[in-house]
Structure 1
Amino acid sequence: MSNVGERGFSLLELVIVLAIFMVAITTAVSIFASIVSQQRRILDEEELLSQASYALEYMSRAIRAAVKDDTGSCLGDSNIGYNYVLTNYDSASGFYEGIKFINQSNSNACQEFFIDLDGALKEIKNAGSAQSILSNAYNIKYGRFILNGDKNVQGSSPDDLVQPRVTILLNIQTKAQNPQEKIIQTTISQRNLNVQ
């Protein structure tokens, strides 16, 4: 029998085909891994925005329902008639990191929102224990509470000629291996007019 008329693959041709196949497989796996990584990052960012949105909406709803402290029982005797008092002054940044007020929609509860030393956004109701508003998977890098656009104002006085506005700015960061952060801000005014 003669092998002259039969065609086959040489070893060189087989090596070249395998090399091309390996390059194609490696590229496909690399692209797939990149897509999975990107999808994970997008889902983490979506969860971060969802948590931040919840926290801002929760605080906004409470701050909108603030009423004057006519007795000083919540905001202190030196702040009688005030709607809001800023708390937790950060001397390094020059901003307040908390706000205290009477929440009319929560049975006139004395309520405070603040950034704790551990970087958690917390609230206290009626001098109870501090409760975290966000999941433990998130950290507040910094937070700002500002009244009427002036970082030097500590409270909304009954002598103010403007309806009090509270601006909240939060820099929220994930505690994940590849941390993501978002800066979010909102401004709220109380629901009822501040009429004397």
Structure 2
Amino acid sequence: MKHKTLRKPTQDSGFKNQERGFTIVEVLITSLIFSIIGMSVSAIFVQIVSLQRRTLATQKIQDNSLFVLEVMSRDIRVSRIANQESPNCDLTTLTITHPSKGAVVYRVNNGSVEKNENGGAFLAVSTPSVNFARMNFCVKGSLANDKQTPRVAILTTVENRTGKEIIQINLQTSVSSRDVIDEFSYP
């Protein structure tokens, strides 16, 4: 009686000599796919960092310019504006008469908004990190007995001074003076 030994059949995996592993083509394709994914993730990260810097620069411009416009608006709102009619918006310096500060002059000098109170020295209102490239004033209703409330429209272009990319923002605000003494002084 012959005994047969049972052997486990080996599975043929398609590799020669029953060696297991990856072929060079499989390794190259896998490396290529992971390289493309890695470069895509890196490019997205660089783009996100660039957008964040742009957003911070824009926020800095907006914060500073809105502060300057608010300071000017508060002074204009309570001041007397006389004989500065400029419907064509060609005025670059605004002179107002504040009830407690006296004569107040606003102007742009070398990209910085400056304020002069009662004949003193001009002091910067804006920070050095932003550049006011343009500031014009449209004044209407400042003539005596014109039966109009004095109002000022401030048109400005503000940009950043630092960073790789120059960001420019155009802003406009209108302010009415509450001082109507000229309207009631003349019959």
**What TM-score range do you get, normalising by the shorter chain?**
0.7 to 0.9
State the identity as a percent. 25
Alignment of 1:141-156 (within 5 A): 141-148=133-140, 156=142
Match of 2:92 in 1: 97
Match of 1:183 in 2: 170
For residues 107-127 of structure 1, the C-alpha deviation after alignment (integer angstroms, 9 at most, x for no partner) is 2421111112x1221111111
Q: Which SS does the other structure have where 2:154 is aligned?
A: strand
Q: Is the aligned partner of 1:48 residue 2:61? A: yes
Match of 1:70 in 2: none
Alignment of 1:20-169 (within 5 A): 20-67=33-80, 83-84=81-82, 86=84, 95-104=90-99, 107-116=100-109, 118-148=110-140, 156-169=142-155
Question: Can you give the 5+ residue segments of structure 1 that lack an aligned partner in the other structure?
Answer: 68-82, 150-155
Aligned partner of 2:91: which letter?
Y
1:85 and 1:101 in contact (8 A); partners too:
no
Aligned partner of 2:20: which letter?
R
Match of 1:12 in 2: 25
CA RMSD of aligned residues (A): 2.2
Deviation at 1:160, TM superposition (A): 2.1
Q: Structure 1: how far apart are the matches of 2:89 and 2:101?
A: 30
Which stretch has the larger CA shift, 140-149 or 183-192? 140-149
Q: Structure 1: how far apart are the matches of 2:89 and 2:176?
A: 23
For residues 105-161 of structure 1, the C-alpha deviation after alignment (integer angstroms, 9 at most, x for no partner) is xx2421111112x12211111111111111111112111111118xxxxxx222322
Q: Structure 2: how far apart are the matches of 1:192 and 1:127?
A: 22
Aligned partner of 1:157: which letter?
L
Deviation at 1:11, TM superposition (A): 1.9
Q: TM-score, normalised by structure 2?
A: 0.81
Q: TM-score, normalised by structure 1?
A: 0.77
Q: Structure 2: how far apart are the matches of 1:133 and 1:20?
A: 55
* Distance 1:22-1:85 versus aligned 2 partners, 3 A rule: farther
Deviation at 1:18, TM superposition (A): 1.1
Q: Which SS does the other structure have where 1:12 is aligned?
A: helix
Aligned partner of 2:97: which letter?
I
* Distance 1:62-1:94 versus aligned 2 partners, 3 A rule: closer
Q: Structure 1: how far apart are the matches of 2:120 and 2:131?
A: 22
Deviation at 1:42, TM superposition (A): 1.1
The structure number with the bigger radius of gyration is 2
1:174 and 1:181 in contact (8 A); partners too:
yes
How many residues align? The count is 166
Deviation at 1:192, TM superposition (A): 3.4
Question: Can you give the 5+ residue segments of structure 2 that lack an aligned partner in the other structure?
Answer: 1-15
